């Protein structure tokens, strides 16, 4: 009988230890989940969403029509970064020359695929063509972005042409540090 009591006590201790282990695993699982959630929330702008992609305006391209450079700067002095967000927003950041690369202009505009690109995607069933166009509207004024190649470069264009190619050229190499952060 004493052996029976000892055996029952031992099995209860094992169950308690197993329950403690499960509780500890759930606790650390919850901590990991919370850390992951904080990281995701830090990466998301509550107004614009997540950054989907980022680009650098090609040196040979004109500036967007609604961007005016501050006095004392010319087009060759600046770089223009584009950040596309999940909630159909586009952020344009104009930075001055290095080494400080001071932010001169910071504009957020409404953005979406241009109708010419949407029609071509419907026809083809994919985005495997160049160029692709985005329509960007800031303070009621529309401008058009062209993505002429596979890579982090964009151009500002006056109109979206319906001359597409299945061959998507690679963009020339770009110093990704010039794009910067949103």
The predicted pLDDT at position 114 comes to 97
Distance CA 181, CA 30 (A): 31
The predicted pLDDT at position 46 comes to 59
pLDDT tens digits, residue range 13-69?
555 554 565 556 666 666 666 665 554 444 555 556 688 899 999 999 999 999 999
The predicted pLDDT at position 75 comes to 94
The predicted pLDDT at position 85 comes to 94
pTM above the 0.85 mark?
no
Element (DSSP H or E) covering residue 159 = none
Q: Could you give the 3-state DSSP secondary structure of residue 146? A: strand
Distance CA 157, CA 33 (A): 45
Distance CA 56, CA 175 (A): 9
Distance CA 144, CA 159 (A): 7
| Domain ranges across the chain | 2-44, 48-178
User: Across residues 85-109, what is the average pLDDT?
Assistant: 93
The predicted pLDDT at position 5 comes to 47
- pLDDT category at 98 given cuts 50, 70, 90 is confident
Model confidence at 79: pLDDT above 80? yes
């Amino acid at each position: 009988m004493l052996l029976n009591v000892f055996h029952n006590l031992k099995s209860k201790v094992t169950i308690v230890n197993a329950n403690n282990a499960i509780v500890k695993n759930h606790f650390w699982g919850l901590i990991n989940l919370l850390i992951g959630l904080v990281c995701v929330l830090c990466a998301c702008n509550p107004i614009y969403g997540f950054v989907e992609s980022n680009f650098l305006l090609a040196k040979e391209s004109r500036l967007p029509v609604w961007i005016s450079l501050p006095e004392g700067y010319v087009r060759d002095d600046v770089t223009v970064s584009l950040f596309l967000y999940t909630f159909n927003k586009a952020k344009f950041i104009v930075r001055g020359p290095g080494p400080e690369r001071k932010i001169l202009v910071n504009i957020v505009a409404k953005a979406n695929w241009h109708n010419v690109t949407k029609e071509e995607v419907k026809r083809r069933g994919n985005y495997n063509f160049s160029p692709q166009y985005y329509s960007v509207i800031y303070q009621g004024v529309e401008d058009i972005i062209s993505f002429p190649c596979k890579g982090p470069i964009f151009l500002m264009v006056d109109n979206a042409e319906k001359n597409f190619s299945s061959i998507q050229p690679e963009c020339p190499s770009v110093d990704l540090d010039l794009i910067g952060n949103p």
